[in-house]
């Protein structure tokens, strides 16, 4: 009896482990991808570090959550002496831990036939190969940003970069100024460990059975056309809960992971009291930091714009400038964290001042909120260029020579987006992209087809 059961279970197909990098901006899209796969019939285990597991609640239905150790079970990356030490530890401890999970699932009659892993954890592919199962990488940045790293790998962009040769042309991309490059490329000396990890993804890209990217075909169509057949990036995005993609069948209004506790529902009640499209929502994501000087300038800009604003301030209050927001009362609400999706989808919100993290950009595009792009680092400078110049869905703020966004510049950008000459055009573009995102994700849409094809292969073993 038992051997028949084992033989049957070992034939089971369509069972995946999904392994995100343990940060908010990575867990969100990968958790959303997992939910989608499960809704289409796959079985899934979401495996993340003990430190981040506690932020996923309530546990999404039909997804098993398991721990994978990174060697820093108590405090995660924050407890590692350096980024490089953290990545090395996750590689050595995590490989073993992942292998143990695969064996555990096999022994409990639930054998896995694919690992979908965050591109920041390239060693997961070796584990997949070791067990003879499929390996699929998931890239959490735009395809355009991915293509730049790819060009470095091909030797078309060499370090140290010669600023004199800019603007440069790369296949499928608009002419790029030096300031349009991702921070890891423009200033490789600032984050050598991250750059090395990112570059390693591209060394092994073609060894994967699938390489998924959180974008959609239509959004980066020039690039997709130019690189067709040259590299195998498969667009499956936007990874935004379906309720925000005009899919009324889904009631899922959040990703289901919060590294910070959302402030009470007070902000939603506050938004309820404001007229349509009158509020500026300000957030710089989960990783960025804001200096007191910068906060002061943002405050000046917001005051000058005479709009209402909802501001996510994650840092401790003693970093706020003295007299911060004095003279303002009902015009402003500062919260430590919120459900960004619910805020963006609220009719009172008319503008998103964002650092242009890729998730934030996709969320605003999908929900239809125009942006003021205030890039900080990483992939954000490139994203902010596309927001203004390519998709026409916002205004890109220029920083001064000290790297500070001035109040005047912020005020100018908010007006551009909310009531200046350009605002009608910007708002109509963002509505167009919102429809396009919904189409890509709906049945028969470009991303949905790619996901269904993947599922079919995993379930049947047939192309």
Catalytic positions, written as ranges: 26, 118
- Which of the stretches 91-99, 268-276, 353-361, 447-455 binds ligand UDX when contact is defined by CB under 6 A? 353-361
Alpha helical stretches, state H, 78-212: 83-107, 123-130, 143-153, 183-186, 192-203
- Which of the stretches 33-41, 196-204, 337-345, 455-463 binds ligand UDX when contact is defined by CB under 6 A? 337-345
Among 297, 363, 388, 416, binds ligand UDX (CB under 6 A): 363
In DSSP notation, 238-297 reads: --S-GGGTT-TT----S-SB-SSPPPPTHHHHHHHTS-TT-EEEEE-TTT----HHHHHH
- Which of the stretches 339-347, 396-404, 426-434, 442-450 binds ligand UDX when contact is defined by CB under 6 A? 339-347
Return d(Cα 143, Cα 383) in angstroms, integer: 11
Surface-to-core class of residue 326, CB atoms within 10 Å of its CB (0-12 exposed, 13-18 middle, 19+ buried): exposed
Tokens (6 digits) for 99:
């292998």
Among 184, 337, 352, 454, binds ligand UDX (CB under 6 A): 337
- CB closer to ligand UDX out of 378 and 407: 378
Tokens (6 digits) for 6:
């084992």
Cα torsion angle, 215, 219, 221, 222, sign: negative
* Residue 393, SS3 per DSSP: coil
Number of chain residues interacting with ligand UDX (CB under 6 A): 26
Can residue 339 be called a binding residue for ligand UDX (CB under 6 A)?
Answer: yes
Can residue 309 be called a binding residue for ligand UDX (CB under 6 A)?
Answer: no
Can residue 24 be called a binding residue for ligand UDX (CB under 6 A)?
Answer: yes
Residue list 125-144, contact with ligand UDX (CB under 6 A): 140-141
Tokens (6 digits) for 293:
């000087």
- Which of the stretches 54-62, 264-272, 286-294, 410-418 binds ligand UDX when contact is defined by CB under 6 A? 286-294
Q: How far is the CB of 297 from ligand UDX (least distance, A)?
A: 20
Among 17, 19, 20, 26, binds ligand UDX (CB under 6 A): 26
Among 14, 20, 22, 25, binds ligand UDX (CB under 6 A): 25
Can residue 290 be called a binding residue for ligand UDX (CB under 6 A)?
Answer: no
- CA-wise closest residue to 362 among 250, 454, 451, 235: 235
- CB closer to ligand UDX out of 163 and 187: 187
Can residue 423 be called a binding residue for ligand UDX (CB under 6 A)?
Answer: no
Can residue 394 be called a binding residue for ligand UDX (CB under 6 A)?
Answer: no
Among 360, 382, 434, 447, binds ligand UDX (CB under 6 A): 360
Q: How far is the CB of 285 from ligand UDX (least distance, A)?
A: 3
- Which of the stretches 91-99, 155-163, 265-273, 378-386 binds ligand UDX when contact is defined by CB under 6 A? 378-386
Can residue 340 be called a binding residue for ligand UDX (CB under 6 A)?
Answer: yes
Peptide bond into 93 cis (omega under 30): no
Can residue 146 be called a binding residue for ligand UDX (CB under 6 A)?
Answer: no
Tokens (6 digits) for 310:
């909802």
Q: How far is the CB of 33 from ligand UDX (least distance, A)?
A: 13
Cα torsion angle, 291, 297, 298, 300, sign: positive
Can residue 22 be called a binding residue for ligand UDX (CB under 6 A)?
Answer: no
Which runs of E-coded beta strand occur in 31-132? Answer: 43-48, 63-67, 114-118
Tokens (6 digits) for 439:
């189409």
Return d(Cα 199, Cα 327) in angstroms, integer: 49
Cβ partners under 8 Å of residue 274, min gap 6: 308, 348
Can residue 157 be called a binding residue for ligand UDX (CB under 6 A)?
Answer: no
Q: How far is the CB of 138 from ligand UDX (least distance, A)?
A: 11
Among 286, 395, 436, 447, binds ligand UDX (CB under 6 A): 286
Phi/psi of residue 378, nearest 5 degrees: 50, -135
Among 14, 76, 370, 378, binds ligand UDX (CB under 6 A): 378
Return d(Cα 349, Cα 37) in angstroms, integer: 31
Alpha helical stretches, state H, 355-445: 358-367, 380-385, 407-418, 423-441
Q: Which residues bind ligand UDX (CB under 6 A)?
A: 23-26, 28, 140-141, 283, 285-288, 312, 337-341, 357-360, 363, 378-380
């Amino acid at each position: 009896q038992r051997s028949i059961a084992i033989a049957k279970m070992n034939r089971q197909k369509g069972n995946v482990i999904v392994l995100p990098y343990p940060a908010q901006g990575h867990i969100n899209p990968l958790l959303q991808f997992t939910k989608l796969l499960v809704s289409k019939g796959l079985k899934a285990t979401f495996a993340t570090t003990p430190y981040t597991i506690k932020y996923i609640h309530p546990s999404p239905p039909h997804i098993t959550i398991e721990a994978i150790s990174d060697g820093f079970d108590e405090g995660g990356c924050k407890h590692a002496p350096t980024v490089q030490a953290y990545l090395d530890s996750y590689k050595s401890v995590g490989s073993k831990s992942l292998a143990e999970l695969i064996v555990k699932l096999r022994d409990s009659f639930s054998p896995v036939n694919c690992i979908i892993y965050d591109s920041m954890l390239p060693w997961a592919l070796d584990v997949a190969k070791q067990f003879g199962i499929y390996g699929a990488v998931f890239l959490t940045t735009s395809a355009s940003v991915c293509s730049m790293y790819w060009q470095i790998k091909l030797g078309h962009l060499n370090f140290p970069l010669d600023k004199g040769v800019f603007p440069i042309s790369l296949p499928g991309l608009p002419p790029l100024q030096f300031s349009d490059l991702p921070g890891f490329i423009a200033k490789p000396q600032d984050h050598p460990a991250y750059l090395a990890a990112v570059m390693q993804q591209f060394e092994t890209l073609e060894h994967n059975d699938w390489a998924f990217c959180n974008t959609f075909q239509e959004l980066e169509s020039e690039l997709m056309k130019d690189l067709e057949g040259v590299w195998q990036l498969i667009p499956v995005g936007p990874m935004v809960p379906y309720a925000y993609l005009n899919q009324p069948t889904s009631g899922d209004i959040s990703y289901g992971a919060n590294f910070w506790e959302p402030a009470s529902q007070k902000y939603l009640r506050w938004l309820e009291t404001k007229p349509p499209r009158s509020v500026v929502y300000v957030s710089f994501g989960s990783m960025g930091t804001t200096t007191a000087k910068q906060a002061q300038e943002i405050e000046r800009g917001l005051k000058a714009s005479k709009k209402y604003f909802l501001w996510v301030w994650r840092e401790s209050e003693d970093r706020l400038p003295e007299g911060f927001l004095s003279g303002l009362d009902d015009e402003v609400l500062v919260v430590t964290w919120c459900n960004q999706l619910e805020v963006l989808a609220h009719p009172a919100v008319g503008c998103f001042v964002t650092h242009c993290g890729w998730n934030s950009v996709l969320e605003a595009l999908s929900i239809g909120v125009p942006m003021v792009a205030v890039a900080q680092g990483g992939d954000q400078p490139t994203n902010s260029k596309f927001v203004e110049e390519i998709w026409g869905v916002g205004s890109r703020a220029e920083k001064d020579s000290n790297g500070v966004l001035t109040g005047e510049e912020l005020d100018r950008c908010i007006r551009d987006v909310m009531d200046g000459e350009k605002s009608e055009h910007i708002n109509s573009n963002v509505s167009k992209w919102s429809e396009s995102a919904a189409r890509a994700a709906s049945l028969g849409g470009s991303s949905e087809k790619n996901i269904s094809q993947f599922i079919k292969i995993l379930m049947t073993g047939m192309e």
